[in-house]
Structure 1
Amino acid sequence: MDTRDTVFIAIFAAFTAALAVFPPITLPVIGVPITAQSLGAIVAGGVLGAKRGSLSLVLFLVLVAAGLPLLSGGRGGFAVFMGPTGGFLIGWILTAFFVGLLVEQLWSYLNFFTALVASAVGGIVVLYAIGIPWSATVAGIPLSTALAGSLPFIPGDILKSVIAASVIVITKNSYPIISPKERTLPGFR
């Protein structure tokens, strides 16, 4: 990893922090707020690739754990990881990783549609697979109730995936950050 990689990781950690300016909307059933910050995870993975994208979210979450109020609503500190949002926060790392991995694998065919699929898989499927069971466990509610309580998130997450796909394709066409060696993993062609 070189200085350029470190700068990109820091920039996308800051980008995710900046998305906290949009006020959260907390849903009553599961106590998890709707925020713009998951968009940061999707864009980081899609623009930086799996490794750097996920590292940018690791950096962001380390800063949150250290007590910086970088989460939407001015939240921060280690305690946020023990609440109902903890699974979603940890899920941002895997979201960035999987979006980045998909974008790297689809690089030759990357267009708005394939970027949208990568964004939705990482930003909805992967994130919900981690966040919903965590929320159910912490809140002491059945998984089915947590799943039903998460349904209002889907329209916003689809919108975030559309925005992320646009950013990913524009970045690929104007200033591709993912290097040629990251575009193909052995055994995936």
Structure 2
Amino acid sequence: MATRITLLKFPSPFIILFFFLAFAATDNPFGSSKPIRSAIGKHKEKLSHLRFFWHDIVSGPNPTVVQIASAPSTRNSSTFFGSLSMIDDPLTEGPDLSSKLLGRAQGFYASASQQEVGLLMAMNFAFIEGKYNGSTISIMGRNTVFSSVREMPVIGGSGLFRFARGYALAKTNMFDLKTGDAIIEYNVFVMHY
């Protein structure tokens, strides 16, 4: 039985040169980076400070927060561990609910601590007013409710807040122990283009 040997044929040096130049012409060999550059354009990164009030309304005929899940042990937990709530909370210019509506906080929070009332917060601040109309800021982080000031990271955004990063400081303005309603002052410091 004869052994058959197959010789590999190498491509022409011109083809090798063509592929080398094609990959060298882009920063990303898997696609062009031009859409990212054009999205940023020639804008410089800037820091914006936004201040508004978040109204978490549990009571009344039109609550803005609803519990969507809980564990069997949640009822016996002093921290409500295992509870998950969906929110569509108004964001206003001042602490009164009747003040100018700037947008809505949409997302969820979950009680994620057995030792203290500590929430996992995941929400978008969706703005409907002024130059930020149609833009969002995304927050995800830990919120220890009874701390005087809580810090949560800004993890992204859309519209004027594309490529956003920064942090949000939350401070309780009012909390009603009977109803569960709360007004939280947010100061958001966000880097964006």
| Higher gyration radius (CA) | 2
| Larger helix fraction of residues | 1
Give the TM-score normalised by the residue count of structure 1. Answer: 0.28
| Larger strand fraction of residues | 2
Give the TM-score normalised by the residue count of structure 2. Answer: 0.27
